[in-house]
Amino acid sequence: MPLSDHLTEQTELLDLADDAIILTDADGTITSWNQGACRMYGWEKNDALGQELHALLRTDLSGEAGQLESSLREQSHWQGELKQVRRNGERIVVASRWTTEAGNPGAPRLQINSDITTRTLETAALRECEARYRRFVTEDFTGTLSIQVDGRIMTCNPAFANIFGFASIEEATGTNFLELLRSRKEGVELLEIVRQHGIVERHELEMSHRDGDPVHVVARLVGTFTDGTLTELQVYLFNDTKRKRLEMQLIQAQKMEGLGTLAGGIAHDFNNILAIILGYTNRLETLNAQPETPPAIKIIKDAVERGAALVQQLLTSARQTEARFSSLDLNALVCELEQMLQATFPKTINFELLLQPDLPPITADRSQIHQVLLNLCVNARDAMKNGGILTLETSITSGEELTEAFTGAAAQNYARIRVRDTGSGMTRQVKSHIFEPFFTTKERGKGTGLGLSVVYGVVNNHRGFVQVDSEPDAGTVFTIYLPVEHSFEEFDGGTMKKITRKPDAPRTILLVEDEEMLRDLGVTVLEGEGYRVIAAKDGVEAVELFETHRDEIGLVVCDLGLPRLGGREAFLKMKENKPGVRAIVASGYLEPTIRSEMLKAGVLDTIQKPYDFSELLAKIRSAIGSDQEDDHPELF
């Protein structure tokens, strides 16, 4: 008997089934529709008969369901899940089983469908719950582990393995927890606290990554006791390394900021003292022709230069000196430095250059970057007393790679310079202090302790970063990162205008200096050169004298750090009185931003103390000429 006739006779029996039992012809037209189908889909039998099945139920034939037709042709049956839509628009999932007469393409098709929507949703929810738990376990930043009292790790989560660089949980559990601490003594002390109190809350620890780098964690330890004896500990470790690293960078920046304030005050006063010494030394050199005098004067001058250089290093380390930015080819600079060092360093030190071809130029102060690399190379030489290899390397790295290690890495790309040695290396304790001014491990008299603080100051002033990696007896690597995308305008500290001489300018100079000895010396020297000098000891007196003698004064030579009224404010008041006032500003410490403002305000030039009076006289002659040009007699 044909399958269709048999199903028709069994209609009443089929209507008792909960499942939807549907019969279609080979084209998919519905020819039989039981009560189970009415309940499942909401379509009454009369509405469903004669309809195309997939159109009526909006069957989704994508994915696995797309194989339905081919499977019926080839195997005469198909089984799988279908997504369909009820009459009311509700989407359902059904487990569907199809069968047809083998070898007869025109045979009708029987399908039996069971609604598994609820079960599917529950399975999906369970699967999502499992995935969420898996993410919680594998992606949690808190390392969790159980240890015995001797430190042996019994269990741990993936986060613990990731924090300390283990390849797997199995590798991590083969490690002793106490070996990851900075010292076993610290572990013994922690265990004792747990024995006494049962718990340790929010305890900051410095631990070690498997590669030796420090890992800063906030730890919570909870003890398990049996008959009053500590037998096991649950340990929770929050990885605080990034915050700690940023905190240390902030502390270093604040320390250098404090040093900058201190350095500025010291520089002004100290350079004033050096200026007095240098000025009177020049006078002695001019007036005294004794044979023994020149060597003594040279010693004094050399001492002044050393003192001035020390102040300059201090200011540089505190980022208080002006940088002259221009386009810089780092590879060319490194090659030039290597040639110089080859000629001066011991022959036991070999050089290796690893330079990235086509390295883009950066915007930087050439002399300052040269000083940075020279300081690092000299330190490397001193660390390789028995010889070794000094490697200089350049490359490009993206700013994105630096954001984890350095706050403020805003540039898209950075030029990376590495200075690597095979010397004695440093301990972790020494490494934590190397950028502090005046910190040195060298013998007394063999170093100022400013070399690396200068490196830090210059690199920070270039919006860059410094990184150091070192272990005792394993050499040291200093890595400098300098941004590639700097523009000149970003750093411009004011351009020095070429001084144009005013031929009809009066030869009277208003000299404003609060240091009495330096002021008296200046008056003597300038009058000796044929100039008329009006002297003022502070800013208020200077403004008053200028208002009285404004038409007589051809040039103002003004110190910046004056009592009562500062040099900058005094100059601006003079400019209000006479917009064309010509001035040269001198200072023992001139901040780059202040210098830029003064130049933009109309100051002709600046001069850094301690200066040789011949340098000051050259600037004065450039501005207003000299009486010698008018055939006035030379006084001395």
CATH at residue 406: 3.30.565.10
The per-residue pLDDT for 541 is 94
Domain, as residue range, for 346: 326-491
Residue 480's pLDDT band (cuts 50, 70, 90): very high
Residue that terminates a domain, selected from 239, 262, 279: 239
Q: Show the DSSP H helices in 318-398 as ranges.
A: 330-344, 366-383
Domain count, the chain: 5
What would the mean pLDDT of 352-360 be, rounded to a whole number? Answer: 92
pLDDT for 563-597, tens place per residue? 889 888 999 999 999 998 999 998 876 666 777 78
Tell me, yes or no, whether 46 lies in a domain: yes
Q: What is the pLDDT of residue 487?
A: 46
How many CB atoms lie under 10 A from the CB of residue 325?
22
Element (H, E) at 21: strand 20-24
Question: Do residue 376 and residue 487 come from a single domain?
Answer: yes
Confidence (pLDDT) at 288: 60
Q: The dihedral of CA 439, 443, 448, 450: what is its sign?
A: negative
**Higher pLDDT among residues 84 and 436, named by residue:** 84
Question: How many angstroms separate the CA atoms of 84 and 25, rounded?
Answer: 19
CATH number at residue 177: 3.30.450.20
Same domain for 332 and 475, yes or no, is yes
User: 236 — phi, psi (to 5°)?
Assistant: -120, 120
- 395: pLDDT strictly greater than 90: yes
Percent of the chain clearing pLDDT 70 (strictly above): 78
> What is the mean predicted confidence (pLDDT) over 125-149?
73
My answer on whether 342 and 420 are in the same domain is yes
**Tokens, residue 350:** 């070999």
CA distance 198 to 233: 9
- Compute the residue count for the chain: 636
Q: Which tokens is 492 given?
A: 């411009």
Are 33 and 99 in the same domain? yes
Of 250-254, 392-396, 465-469, 600-604, least confident by mean pLDDT is: 250-254
**156 within a domain of the structure (yes/no):** yes
User: Residue 551 above 80 pLDDT?
Assistant: yes
Q: Which of residues 179 and 213 earns the better pLDDT score? A: 179
Residue reference for tokens 């403020």: 408
Q: Which amino acid is at 178?
A: L
Helix, strand, coil percentages for the chain (3-state, nearest 5): 45, 25, 30
Cβ(177)–Cβ(151) below 8 Å: yes
d(CA 516, CA 272): 11
pLDDT, tens digit, for every residue of 11-64? 667 777 888 999 999 888 999 899 999 999 999 999 999 999 999 999 988 877
Residues 300, 388: one domain?
Answer: no
Cα–Cα distance, 241 to 162 (Å, whole number): 13
Residue 129 lies in a domain: no
Residue 216 and residue 89 in one domain: no
pLDDT at 492: 45
**Do both 469 and 379 map to the same domain?**
yes
Residue 100 DSSP SS3: strand
**Confidence band of 10 (pLDDT split at 50, 70, 90):** low
Same-domain check for residues 450 and 344: yes
Average pLDDT, the chain: 81
pLDDT > 90? residue 331:
yes
Domain-ending residue, one of 317, 334, 353: 317
Least confident range from 39-43, 201-205, 405-409, 514-518: namely 405-409
Report yes or no on 95 lying in a domain. Answer: yes
Is the same domain home to 471 and 332?
A: yes
- Does one domain contain both 306 and 332? no
Scored b (16 or more CB within 10 A) or e, 198-226 reads: eebeeeebbbbeeeeeebbbbbbbebeee
User: Distance between CA atoms of 444 and 462, rounded to whole angstroms?
Assistant: 32
Would 497 be classed as within a structural domain?
no
pLDDT in tens, 274-294: 777 777 777 776 666 555 566
Q: What mean pLDDT do residues 477-496 have?
A: 65
Same domain? 353 vs 448: yes
Report the CATH number at residue 545: 3.40.50.2300
The reply to whether 355 and 478 lie within a common domain is yes
Q: How many CB atoms are located within 10 Å of the residue 311 CB? A: 22
At residue 74, does pLDDT exceed 70?
yes
Residue 246 within any structural domain of the chain? no
Q: What is the mean pLDDT of residues 86-106?
A: 90
Q: Looking at the domain assignment, is residue 501 inside a domain?
A: no
Q: Select from 239, 263, 278 the last residue of a domain.
A: 239
pLDDT score for 629:
46
Query: Can you read off the two tokens belonging to residue 89?
Result: 């628009």
State the average pLDDT over residues 313-333.
70
Place of tokens 């369909």: 84
330-361 burial, b if ≥16 CB within 10 A, otherwise e?
bbebbeebbeebeeebeeebeeeeebeeebee
**Residue 270 phi, psi (nearest 5):** -70, -40
635 inside domain? no
DSSP for residue 164: T
| Over residues 318-345, mean pLDDT | 80
